[in-house]
Amino acid sequence: MMSYISFRYKLWHLCLYRLQTMNRFWLTLLFFTGLVISPATFAWNDRDQDGVPDIKDACPNTSKDVLVDASGCDKSRLFKPICLTTTDKQIYPDTCIEADDLTLNFEFAKAEVSYSQWQVLAQIKQFLQLNDVDLCLIGHTDSIGNLEANQRLSEARAKSVMRILVEDYGFEPGRFIVRGMGTRSPIGTNDTPGGRTLNRRVNFLVELNH
């Protein structure tokens, strides 16, 4: 009788051990699968294989045989020249008739520049390469949240843009002035989601007297 009980105990113990081992295996498999398919992993993919990760690629469908710059765009390609407003409400360069409405938009409560906005950064990069001027980077928010938090967020957005222009594109930090406007300069109504999206932005002004 004791031998039978002992056998059943050992059998139960063996089954429990195997079950625990299988659980560890599946948990490990699920963990690594999560890493492989996580958004962060996708963000650092390089779908067009140009050496620039997707999250920083302003031209994500470049052909493999094309030599690209740090933004992932064809080095021989130029965007249409842009015109920007100056801090004293003029237009630069003075050959321009009207300024381009060039802004970077942000997700709610976020200061990071999203993948969809890198095309705008590539245009700003070209503008700075073609024009020996300084830029004022002005951050804005929508009206949700308290004034102090929105002021900090608007400054963080402008600093985030400057960090990319300096660290990724190699411009001198002295070419940029960073300002945060908080909620003070909306361009859309804060009563609708679409209007609030327009207000979550960084815009660019040419500073000729910096």
Q: Using one digit for the tens of pLDDT, what is the confidence trace for 186-209? A: 999 999 999 999 999 999 999 988
Q: What is the pLDDT of residue 150?
A: 98
Q: Which residues contact 49 (CB under 8 A, 6 or more apart)?
A: 64
CB-CB contact of 200 with 141 (8 Å): yes
Q: Classify burial at 145, counting beta carbons within 10 Å of its beta carbon; exposed 0-12, middle 13-18, buried 19 or more.
A: middle
What's the chain's Rg over C-alpha atoms?
26
The pLDDT of residue 116 is above 60: yes
Do residues 133 and 92 lie in contact, with contact meaning Cβ atoms separated by under 8 Å?
Answer: yes
Long-range contacts of 165-171 (CB under 8 A, 24+ apart): 165/121, 165/124, 165/125, 165/128, 168/56, 168/70, 168/71, 169/70, 169/71, 169/121, 169/125, 169/128, 170/70, 171/125, 171/128
How many whole angstroms from its chain centre is CA 201? 12
pTM: 0.68
pLDDT given for residue 188 in this prediction: 97
- What are the CA-CA distances from residue 102 to residues 7, 75, 115, 125, 127 (Å)? 78, 22, 16, 12, 12
Q: Which CATH superfamily is domain 80-207 in?
A: OmpA-like domain (3.30.1330.60)
Centre a 10 Å sphere on the Cβ of residue 164 and count the other Cβ atoms it contains: 20
- Cβ of 153: how many Cβ atoms within 10 Å? 22
| Secondary structure of residue 67 in the 3-state scheme | coil
Question: What local confidence, expressed as pLDDT, does residue 46 receive?
Answer: 77
Top pLDDT among 5 and 205 is at: 205
- Given this model, what pLDDT does residue 45 score? 81
Contact 125, 102 (CB under 8 A): no
Q: Looking at the predicted structure, is the pLDDT value of residue 178 above 70?
A: yes
| Between residues 51 and 111, the one the model is more confident about | 111
pLDDT digits over 122-154, tens only? 999 999 999 999 999 999 999 999 999 999 999
Name the band, by pLDDT with cuts 50, 70 and 90, for residue 39.
very low
More reliable by pLDDT, 4 or 165: 165
The domain locations on the chain are 49-78, 80-207
Question: How confident is the model at residue 44, as a pLDDT?
Answer: 61
Instruction: Give percent above pLDDT 70 in the chain.
Output: 68
Residue 35 has a pLDDT of 47
Mean pLDDT over each residue of the chain, to the nearest integer: 82
How many Cα atoms within 13 Å fall on the side-chain side of residue 127?
25
